[in-house]
Amino acid sequence: MIDIAAWGKLFATDAAGFIINDCHPNKISPPWTPLVSEFNQACQEVWPTRLAGVYLRGSVPRGLAIPYISDLDSFAILSGDITPQDLDQARHITQRLNKRYLFCKK
């Protein structure tokens, strides 16, 4: 029988019951810092007037990422309608980063 390992955690909450965000840019460490920087820069170049924000979640901004296991949980918020060209550009960014940063699972 396979043992199931405890993985992950519940989000901590403050006294009022709100979730505490434990992500922070200062917790991103090598080799993840260049990947995050390039992702951010690529989004700014592709959508210079429509990019409202770039967000990370998961292990990378918590300082818990493991090379060859962790992925970059990220997304970009754009103003306006999302077009097929936007989706193609997002796929292109993903493909380029996947080829360049082999330690990142996705």
9 part of a folded domain = no
54 part of a folded domain = yes
**Counted domains in the chain:** 1
pLDDT digits (tens, 9 = 90+) for 78-92: 999 999 999 999 999
For the entire predicted model, the pTM comes to 0.82
| Segments of the chain scoring below 50 in pLDDT | none
16 part of a folded domain = no
40 part of a folded domain = yes
- Extract the runs of DSSP E, i.e. beta strands, from the chain: 51-57, 73-78
73 part of a folded domain = yes
- From first CA to last CA, the distance across the chain in angstroms is 29
67 part of a folded domain = yes
**Host domain of residue 94:** 25-100
90 part of a folded domain = yes
